[in-house]
Structure 1
Amino acid sequence: TEFKDSHVGRIPVDWDVVNLEDVVEIHDNKRIPLSEKERIKMKGDYPYCGANGIIDYINDYIFNGEFVLLAEDGGDYSSFGSSAYIMNGKFWVNNHAHVIEALPSKITNRFLLHILIYLDLTHYVVGSTRKKLNQGIMRKIKIPLPPLEEQKRISEILQDVDRRLELLTERKVKLENIKRGLMNDLLTGKRRVRITS
């Protein structure tokens, strides 16, 4: 594989570098923040999302489909941070997360998610006390863009690793619960150990 220098570092020669706004549709104008009081009156089954994930569940939704949510403020914008996540189905979004949708002829939502998590976005963020990724700057985020088929394959590989990590996390939680139970039994004398001489 031959490489070339770009705004995002060395990339394969057949990859492009584009502004985020060139490969997504931005749906920020549809977001509606709700106060906690309003949400209490609207309890339901639809996720109410913010910068870092689901905050609550309410009885209405604004979005229906698969979208990438990117923290407008309060996200971890460092490389491998947690500033973006995918929402699928019916949900509501407050004004602390940008709502973006991949243009399917150019990029996939999964690849978009992985690239936003991978990139160091800290130099796109403004503000000293409350870090903010405003929409104007977000539009200009430079992203590497492989051909669509390669994006899909990269996403499949990374999704497979994510699934394996989830399984390992579940196993770890189960083992930790077993350990807690054993500690409770062994360290209180409820379960005795055999001593062989």
Structure 2
Amino acid sequence: MPEAIPEQQRIVAILDESFDNIAKARANAEKKLRNTRELFESHVHSAFAKRVANWRVKTLNQIATNLDNKRIPITKRDRKPGNYPYYGASGIVDYVAEYIFDGDTLLISEDGANLIARSTPIAFPASGKYWVNNHAHILKFEDMATQRFVEFYLESIKLDKYITGAAQPKLNQKALNSIPIPIPDSVADQMLVVTALEQVAAETQRLESIYREKLAALDELKQSLLHQAFSGQL
């Protein structure tokens, strides 16, 4: 038994040093992940701050058609499984056998804690054939550039003053329609802003993917070291 103690101490020392290094590497990767997201948000804010003469402030109902009256909620027990996405407040929640929408629209969360927390997008596109329940507003635009412009803009601002309810935050249609959007008159100018932001978004996603992979690899390394330690392979 005494002979085992030095070996145990050796393993503990190796694990302590390794876990300390892993913790430092993880903290570094998490910091870079946050910095990447903050840098993207800074680019978006800068893009909308640089307004020029042909930008005008319009309310959302002036540049989009609201299709909320066409939504149909289906309880989970009444849904027939299928291939068409079934959207709710935070994106796809199921796949069903039928659809009620066909084409490009922008969906915006109507209720839920995420309207305040913003841990996931509150404005997200839908295309093709799909179903939408009554937890997401549906906006139809004449041009995809305008839709993408509005999507980026809504994701860049806080909506707290348009939201009612503390226990169950809600962005009702009247409040949604009243949101002012500073937007270029020209669709071509809208597209210039969108193209620039999409390039930054693509690079942001690439970097975020790298840092998430690093975090996953560090978690795997920690588990591997523990397995080796308890199986006598360390």
TM range (shorter): 0.7 to 0.9
**What residue number does 1:5 align with?**
none
- RMSD between superposed Cα atoms in Å: 2.6
The structure in which a higher percent of residues are strand is 1
- Any stretches of 5+ residues in structure 2 without a counterpart? 1-47
Distance of 2:84 and 2:218 partners within structure 1 = 32
Using the aligned pairs only, state the percent identity. 33
Aligned position for 1:97 = 136
Q: Give the structure with the higher percent helix.
A: 2
Which of 22, 37, 52 lines up with 2:62 in the alignment?
A: 22
CA contact (8 A) 1:62 1:92 kept: yes
SS state at 2:106 partner: strand
CA distance in 1, matches of 2:227, 2:191: 54
Deviation at 1:78, TM superposition (A): 4.7
* Residues 88-127 of structure 1: pairs in structure 2 closer than 5 A: 88-104=127-143, 107-127=145-165
The 1-side partners of 2:155 and 2:139 are apart by: 14
Q: CA deviation at 1:189?
A: 2.7
How many Å separate the matches in 1 of 2:192 and 2:143? Answer: 14
Is 1:58 the counterpart of 2:96? The answer is: yes
- 1:1-40 counterparts in 2 under 5 A? 11-14=50-53, 15-39=55-79
Letter in 1 for 2:220: I
Structure 1 residues 37 and 185 mapped into 2: Cα distance closer, same or farther (>3 Å)? same
Q: How many residues matched?
A: 181
Q: How far apart are the structure 2 equivalents of 1:190 and 1:20?
A: 64
- CA distance in structure 1 between the partners assigned to 2:171 and 2:164 by the alignment: 6
2:201 corresponds to which letter in structure 1? Q
User: What is the CA deviation profile of residues 53-103 of structure 1, one whole-angstrom value per residue up to 9, with x for unaligned ones?
Assistant: 111111111122222110111153359663221222221110000011222
Deviation at 1:144, TM superposition (A): 1.8
- Kept in 1, the 8 Å contact 2:149–2:190? The answer is no
- The alignment partner of 1:91 has SS state of strand
CA gap of 1:49–1:176, structure 2 versus 1, over 3 A, is: farther
Q: Check whether the contact 1:79–1:119 (CA below 8 A) recurs between aligned residues.
A: no
Structure 1 counterpart of 2:63, one-letter code? V
User: What does 1:86-165 correspond to in 2, within 5 Å?
Assistant: 86-104=125-143, 107-146=145-184, 147-165=189-207
Look at both structures and tell me which one has the larger radius of gyration over its CA atoms. 2
Name the CA shift for 1:63/1:179 in 2 (closer, same or farther; >3 Å): farther
Matched-pair contact (CA < 8 Å) for 2:61–2:178: yes
- Aligned with 1:12: secondary structure? coil
Instruction: Give the counterpart letter for 2:150 in structure 1.
Output: L
Structure 1 contact 102–112 (Cα < 8 Å) conserved = no
Structure-2 separation of matches of 1:84 and 1:149: 18
1:77 to 2:119 alignment: no
Which region of structure 1 is more displaced relative to structure 2, 134-143 or 63-72? Answer: 63-72
- Which of the pair has the greater relative contact order for Cα pairs under 8 Å at 6+ separation? 2
Unaligned 5+ runs, structure 1: 1-8, 193-197
